[in-house]
Amino acid sequence: MKRFEHLAAAMDLRVAQLACEGVRGAVLLDRMATYLPQLHRIWIEATDEQLASLSAQYPGFYQYALLMEEAFAADRPNPHEHPQVPLASDKLKSLFEALMKDASTLELEYQSVQDNARRGDAARRSAKLNGQHDAWMKDFEGFKNALRAEEAGRDALQQLHPTLDAIAQRIEEARHRVNRDSDAGKVTDLLPRLTINGDFVRDFSGATAPCFALGLLQERKHTRGFFAIRTQQPISRDLTELGMRFGHSLLGSSDFAVVHFAFEFYGFGAYNALVKPHDPVVRAVLQTIVQTGTYFVIAIDAHGSAQVFGGEMQHPDLAGLKTNLPRILASRASDQQYDKALAQFRRAPHPQGWLLDWVCRDDVAYMDLDANPMNLTPSRQ
């Protein structure tokens, strides 16, 4: 199941990236062409229960799979007979699948670098991707030469040629955009200093993990809202390359509501947190995020290593926060109601993952960035 989750998570993230560009429907299928071999593998190897679980956990994967099912149903008499790559030998099929997998990774990670240009490792990541892209181009030419060497392969090349060239062109354009942005502003490689209340850092670091808190920080003289998470496991730097997904929802009844936050680190795990909407820190942080259109997530692992993620309000995962803010600010939850919501969530968590203990709550002094300020400069990975 883990290998299916890794594949589905990558598709889910790519669909979210494309959604930010307004890509949907048939165009989405064209832009997701590199994922077709991986989707086909899940279709033929995963059980019905595993498919249902993946669809519930990764809505972008479900959207892509559903669109592909509909396309097959329109083009084929039996929608469950998914098309095979028109290649004669197992060797060519293996080469094609590896080429598409690497292409999907390049597209995904070039977009991730562009979306997270605020991260100080952007130049290092783009240089690494450029090397991987150069290697992919050699494999790309090698694959076409291998097709030309076989009589049946020449027919397959003619059929695949438009798709392969379109994929190669998209990756080249993604590389150009990332390198252009990097060359235009080398100063972005300097990681911003973050100023946080020192008492908050001390108390949050002393809380029992896994835990969660909200707060305010200062970045380049601008006040930003942030979410802080402490995990019980080490977070691999390789896993943070793909980034994370953040979402929220409102839970409760007609009598009360609590705010649910979900943080999914791709390839690592999902974390959930529930907070009272009338808590003064919660109110201040959410208002700041909506007003500035920016937020940070600071993830601290079992070894004390911190990863900093930044996001923008236009991302689809945050699109509803601005809409829901008036309702959040008007809602309340007593201690008993909050405990009831926690108990209900523990019985049926969604998404599946850790439920974090909410710490450093209620105290507005933690938001004072002039009293006992602590400057943090995230290190390059």
Residue of higher predicted confidence among 308 and 241? 308
Query: For residues 110 and 63, what is the distance between their CA atoms, to the nearest angstrom?
Result: 22
Q: What is the pLDDT of residue 181?
A: 58
With 80 as the cut, is the pLDDT of residue 255 above it? yes
Q: What is the pLDDT of residue 309?
A: 79
Percent of the chain past pLDDT 90, that is, above it, reads 22
For residue 215, give the nearest of 353, 315, 358, 331 by alpha carbon. Answer: 358
- Residue 315 near residue 329 (C-beta atoms within 8 A): no
> Which pair of tokens denotes residue 270?
């999902």
With 70 as the cut, is the pLDDT of residue 206 above it? yes
Q: What is the largest CA-CA distance in the chain?
A: 75
Q: What is the pLDDT of residue 257?
A: 92
Residue of higher predicted confidence among 286 and 109? 286
- Residue 61 near residue 5 (C-beta atoms within 8 A): no
Residue 139: count other Cβ atoms within 10 Å of its Cβ: 14
- Give pTM, 2 decimals: 0.56
Helix axes 2-20 and 36-45, enclosed angle (nearest 10): 140
Return the top range by mean pLDDT from 28-37, 83-92, 172-181, 213-222: 213-222
Q: What is the pLDDT of residue 180?
A: 65
Percent of the chain past pLDDT 70, that is, above it, reads 82
Query: For residues 84 and 73, what is the distance between their CA atoms, to the nearest angstrom?
Result: 15
Give me the mean pLDDT over the 147-167 stretch: 74
> Which pair of tokens denotes residue 193?
């200093």
For the chain, what percentages of helix, strand and coil (3-state, to nearest 5) are there?
55, 20, 25
- Residue 351 near residue 270 (C-beta atoms within 8 A): yes
Give me the mean pLDDT over the 97-120 stretch: 78
- Beta-carbon contacts of residue 170 (< 8 Å; ≥ 6 apart): 31, 107
Tokens 């959604």 belong to residue? 19
Q: What is the DSSP string of 75-132?
A: H-SSTTSPPPP--SSHHHHHHHHHHHHHHHHHHHHHHHHHHTTTSTTHHHHHHHHHHH
Q: Which of 94-98, 117-121, 357-361 is predicted with the least confidence, judged by mean pLDDT? A: 117-121
Residue 231: count other Cβ atoms within 10 Å of its Cβ: 20
Query: For residues 263 and 270, what is the distance between their CA atoms, to the nearest angstrom?
Result: 6
Q: What is the pLDDT of residue 144?
A: 82
Q: What is the pLDDT of residue 24?
A: 78
Per-residue pLDDT tens digits for 326-378? 999 999 999 999 999 999 999 988 878 899 999 999 899 999 998 888 887 65
> Which pair of tokens denotes residue 354?
């850790």
R_g of the chain computed on alpha carbons: 23
With 50 as the cut, is the pLDDT of residue 88 above it? yes
SS3 273: strand
Per-residue pLDDT tens digits for 16-27? 777 766 777 888
For residue 287, give the nearest of 320, 326, 246, 258 by alpha carbon. Answer: 326
- Residue 263 near residue 229 (C-beta atoms within 8 A): yes
Range 264-276 burial, b when 16+ CB lie within 10 A, else e: bbbbbbbbbbbbb
Q: What is the DSSP string of 274-337?
A: EE-TT-HHHHHHHHHHHHHSEEEEEEE-TTS-EEEEEEETTSGGGHHHHHHHHHHHH----HHH
Residue-averaged pLDDT of the chain: 80
Q: What is the pLDDT of residue 352?
A: 81
- Residue 34 near residue 100 (C-beta atoms within 8 A): yes
H or E element: which one contains 217?
strand 211-219
Give me the mean pLDDT over the 183-204 stretch: 68
